[in-house]
Amino acid sequence: MDIIHLLPDSVANQIAAGEVIQRPASCLKELVENSLDAGATRIQVIVRDAGRTLLQVIDNGIGMSEMDARLAFERHATSKIREAQDLFSLRTMGFRGEALASICAVAQVEMTTRRAEDETGTLIEIHGSDVVRQEPCVCPVGTNIKVSNLFFNVPVRRKFLKTDQTELRNLLTEFYHIVLVYPKVNFTFVHNDEIILELPSGTEKQRIEAIFGNPKRNVYTSAFVEVNTETELVSIRGFVVKPENATRKAEQYFFVNGRYMRHPYFQKAVLTAYSGMLTADYQPSFFIYFDINPESIDVNIHPTKTEIKFADEQAIFQILMASVREALGKFTLAPTIDFDTRGAIDIPAPSTEHVSRPQVAVDPTYNPFHTRGTIYPDKTPQKWESLYEAPQSSRNIDIPEFRDAEMPLWQYNGKYIFVPGEEGLTMIHQHRAHVTVLYHRFLDQMTHAQGASQQLLFPEVISLSPDDMVLIEQITGDLRAIGFDLEQLSPDSYSIQGVPAQMADQSPVPVLQQIIEKVRSRGADTQSEWREQIALSLAQSTAIPLGKSLNEQEMRQIVGDLMQLPSHRLTPDGKTIVSLLTNEEIEKKF
């Protein structure tokens, strides 16, 4: 008996869908790219429940004929490529003819579409690859496609979806990647009947301003200088922030031939151009657009990958670095750039790890926010708990008989607290000790909602970008629990009326911005994850700084509090708090 048989189309499409449509954001990307390919000048995105129940894209593009409307949902149906070799000179967005087939395999799709030359349009409804309705209809020129109940027939995929807030942020990130390269196109983004973004047609600069403009993210275009370089190999344009306008939370975007790409190696080129000009922890925002002959890049065939391989990466690295340096040198007076050092800069070899062959594997954990974390040189996110478990060999160092109030202790160098004991001299890093004490206190307050709040005489206003608004909504409950008194003022701002008592004289806006940035950059998606990030960020902002002189009572308080913790060896982010100089080590020195 023969045992090989062809998979029914619906099954094949569902398998393909796993590859192309991983989450609402990937569906949105495909739909909007189709609208752009259709020459639309106005595109409306309407989303409900972060795309779970509805993702609708309305465009005024060329529309489809009755026949094409049906064909569009077949696999490998495309109007964009006829021969395999077209793949190499590709300039349109989609080209595999897979997106619509994949989407309709895992959702309920209703589409109306009409071309300018047709009097009536076509309505087509498809549920899980089955055409349930197709009829003429009255509709405007263009295409209106409504994707409902995504993954209704793939419970496993539905389960992989994160919270609405996270999925909405994913949608917005994907949306930014597209709208930043089509400033001439008018876009609207509506979520649950609320207009989140309204982007009129304009220049690239205006588009950047409309999304990230001051004071939403401190990325305001007056802080930018223009980069503009033409070479035979590549043309590079865009905007880079002046060194003095670098921020803790930066927006860093590369685009190549009108497509967003991630490129850690080129990112290094930009950072190298800034070397010596930035304060530690500060990052430059940039929006850089490459134009290059499509034949010299690896047209990556995988629709969900954002990495692109260039034939001549090292040369482009040099050109990019030089043009950013030149732009910075031209417009910034101080600090002056020492061009003599240019030759001395180490140019790292292109890393090959980010160049992956097109893969077919599904990565259900793919989340663009996790990749942002790599911008920051800190450790990769880890579970704090695991850091807390001291390795078997190194036990907690006992801080000697601390309950004995007679025990002498003193501050050294404005940084350390020294406590002599039987085994030797215990040295405690005062700032880290306090961070760790506060971290546990804040975590505890979030669990029990009991943080003390101090009302501000003059409430302050924090303005946020749409995706940060989504994020803050997600974490306000926990922020309130530790003493923030927040009230939403407008669709893009909150007023801060009270702060945790601990914050005393700190200015609340930067502290809150830092919390948001930490939660965002660490991709903290679950409540326990974001609580850890909030607690750590607030503890770092409010702990006693290095260099502050402490009186005896303050020292006893910190060391006493530290002793109460289950573990006092490491800070939540893994730094050493306590170290022991043993008696033998001291002896050996003489």
14: left (phi over 0), alpha (psi -120 to 50) or beta: alpha
Beta-bridge mates of residue 454? 499
90 binds ligand ADP (CB under 6 A): no
Q: Binding segment for ligand ADP among 78-86, 210-218, 399-407, 542-550 (CB under 6 A)?
A: 78-86
Q: Helix/strand/coil (H, E, C) string of 184-195? A: CCEEEEEECCEE
Q: In the complex with ligand ADP, which residue's Cβ is closer, 103 or 241?
A: 103
Of 100, 419, 433, 524, the one binding ligand ADP by CB under 6 A:
100
| Continuous segment of H or E residues that includes residue 45 | strand 42-48
Burial class (CB in 10 A: 0-12, 13-18, 19+), 152: middle
- Least distance (Å) between residue 94 CB and Mg ion: 2
Angle at 561 between CA 555 and CA 562, to 5 degrees: 90
Q: Judging by DSSP bridges, how do beta strands 224-230 and 142-148 pair with one another?
A: unpaired
Smallest separation, CB 34 to Mg ion (Å): 4
Question: According to CB under 6 A, which residues from 141 to 170 bind ligand ADP?
Answer: 143
Q: Which does 517 bind (CB under 5 to 8 A by kind): ligand ADP, Mg ion, none?
A: none
Out of 80, 205, 480, 548, name the contact with ligand ADP by CB under 6 A. 80
For Mg ion, the closer CB: 79 or 148: 79
Closest approach of ligand ADP to the CB of residue 100, in Å: 3
Pick between residue 72 and residue 180 the one whose CB is nearest to ligand ADP.
72
| Smallest distance from ligand ADP to CB 88, Å | 16
Identify which of residues 103 and 559 has a Cβ nearer to ligand ADP in the complex: 103
To ligand ADP, the closest distance from the beta carbon of 101 in angstroms equals 6
3-class DSSP string for 432-446: HHHHHHHHHHHHHHH
- Interface of this chain with ligand ADP, residues 534 to 563, rule: CB under 6 A: none
Nearer CB in complex with ligand ADP: 63/128: 63
For 386: left if phi > 0, alpha if psi spans -120 to 50, otherwise beta; the answer is: alpha
Contact residues: Mg ion, CB under 5 A: 34, 94, 99
540 vs 558: CA distance, rounded Å? 15
Closest distance between Mg ion and the C-beta of residue 97, in Å?
Answer: 7
Residue 450, CA distances (Å) to 66, 299, 445, 457, 470 in order:
63, 55, 5, 22, 24
Residue 99 sits in the site that holds ligand ADP (CB under 6 A) = yes
Closest residue to bound ligand ADP by CB: 94
Facing residues of 225 across strands? 240
Q: Buried (b) or exposed (e) across 528-552, using 16+ Cβ within 10 A?
A: ebbbbbbbbbbbbbbbbeeeeebee
> What would the x/- binding string for ligand ADP be over residues 34 to 73, using CB under 6 A?
xx--x--------------------x-xxxx-------x-
The contacts of residue 554 (CB under 8 Å, 6+ apart) are 544
Q: Is the dihedral of CA 312, 313, 319, 320 positive or negative?
A: positive
Nearer to Mg ion, 99 or 236 (CB): 99
Binding site for ligand ADP (CB under 6 A): 30, 34-35, 38, 59, 61-64, 72, 77-80, 94-101, 143
